Each structure stands twice: as C-alpha cells, then as structure tokens.
A and B are shown apart, each in its own frame.
Chain A
C-alpha cells in the first residue's frame, strides 16, 4: 500500500463547476499538507498548504484536512479552463522530505 493515494483521473468538468480533488494517506504522523499544481511540461508550483486539521481558503481554492479520516481535499470553485493541470497532494512529518501523491489530471472545458 502506498503512503499517499490519489486518483489519477482524468477529471473532466465544465467551466464554472466546483471541483473536488482528494488524497488519502496511511501515516497518522503527517502534519503538513500541501497541494501543488503542475501545468504540462512545467515544474509543480505550490498552491496551498495546511498544518494539521482544518480548512484554509485562498480565493477560489479551499484546502481541507481531516486527520481522523486521513483524508485531504482541495476544492476549486468557479473552475476555469486555466485550472486545467495536474494537481499533486504532498505531506510531510517534521523532516524535510515530502511524500507526494501521483497526481490527478483535471480538464476544465469551456
């Protein structure tokens, strides 16, 4: 079993839809949770980070962590074609190494 599981998609939605992206994990010691966005042939860029449980909102994006269920989510409201990318979840203990999910490919069509 992988430490971090993420559905690879692709997830295809119409413009304006609410998108829900999710990851599950097995190690309860993870404390820092992040979401990266990666456009085709580019490096990932940090989108959101959350410490421990709870929600964090930034514009159209909301990151949610449920440590009791070992489940994290990224919600995108009013999705745009420019949101089409691969979204990677990542998490860590107190050390430097991040553990990444395999990424979910999102397609937002006009």
Chain B
C-alpha cells in the first residue's frame, strides 16, 4: 500500500545533540513537508520541498535542517540550535495531480529532550 513512513515513532534527545527524523513516501509525490505540532498551536511549517534537490524554509526553520536527495525521502535534522525541540513532528506529501486533494501525512515522531 502507498503511504508515508516516519521513523522512529518516539525519539529521545540529550541536550546538545543533533537528531535526524526519517520520512519516506512511496506515493510518487513531488512535494514534501515537515510540520511541528505543539498543544494549542496547531501545525507549524518547518521546511518544504517541491522538487528533488530544492527546499524552502517555512515559518519556524531556525534550528532545523533538511535535505532532498531523492524524491522518496525528506529527512529532518533537529540541531542543538533548536532550543525547545520537544514536540510532535509530522511529515506530509502531495502530488501535482493531487493539488486539490491536500496532503497525505505520516503517523508522526514524538521527540523528547531528556
């Protein structure tokens, strides 16, 4: 079945560490997105990519980095510069032919700083 796979489901980070969240899709979608979700704040866009080897900052890109070397993959690195990284992270994708149909989301990664 086609879909988006995020891993790991739960991730713990020590202070000062970088961690990378994985996002893989087999939907043949061109565009991919990373969101952060905090209680009461809805979804906030971190980075997005509409084509391989190209990506743009979203509303809260500071302290995060991404790469898009393959159409299927869009990993997110949470760097030590992100001062409050504890949150629920969601990856999504959309296809050009599906502009009217919104995004397909993964099941999320819950990151906790310990």
A→B interface (CB under 8 Å): 6, 8, 32, 34, 36, 41-46, 49, 51, 88, 90, 92, 94, 96-98, 100-103
Contact A43 B90 (CB under 8 A): yes
Residue of A nearest to B101 (CB): A49
Contact A43 B102 (CB under 8 A): no
Please name all residues of chain B whose beta carbon is closer than 8 Å to the beta carbon of A97 when the two chains form the complex: 45, 48
Is B74 at the interface (CB under 8 A from chain A)?
Answer: no
Cβ-defined partner of B102 (8 Å) among A6, A34, A94: A34
Contacts of B63 in A (CB 8 A): none
CA A40 to CA B106, docked complex, whole Å: 13
Interface residues of B in 76-114 (CB under 8 A from A): 88, 90, 92, 94, 99-108, 110
A-B contact count (CB 8 A): 54
How many angstroms between the C-alpha atoms of A19 and B90 in the bound complex?
27
In-complex Cβ contact of A44 among B31, B94, B105 (8 A): B105
> Across the interface, do A36 and B102 meet the contact criterion of CB distance under 8 Å?
yes
> Contact between B90 and A51 (Cβ–Cβ < 8 Å)?
no
**Smallest Cβ distance from B22 to chain A, in angstroms?**
14
CA–CA, A41 to B87, complex, Å? 11
What A residues does B103 contact at CB under 8 A? 46, 98
**Inter-subunit contact A43/B108 (CB<8 Å):** yes
A46 and B50 form a contact (CB under 8 A)? no
- For the complex of A and B, the 6 pairs showing the least CB-CB separation, nearest first, are A102-B42, A43-B105, A100-B43, A34-B102, A96-B31, A43-B107
A46: chain B residues within 8 A (beta carbon)? 101-104
**Residues on A with beta carbons closer than 8 Å to the beta carbon of B100:** 32, 49, 51
User: Which residues of the other chain, B, contact A88 by a CB distance below 8 angstroms?
Assistant: 42-43
23 of the cross-chain contacts (CB-CB < 8 Å) are A6-B42, A8-B40, A32-B100, A32-B102, A36-B102, A41-B88, A41-B108, A42-B107, A43-B4, A43-B6, A43-B92, A43-B105, A44-B105, A46-B102, A46-B104, A49-B102, A88-B43, A94-B99, A96-B31, A96-B50, A96-B99, A97-B45, A101-B42
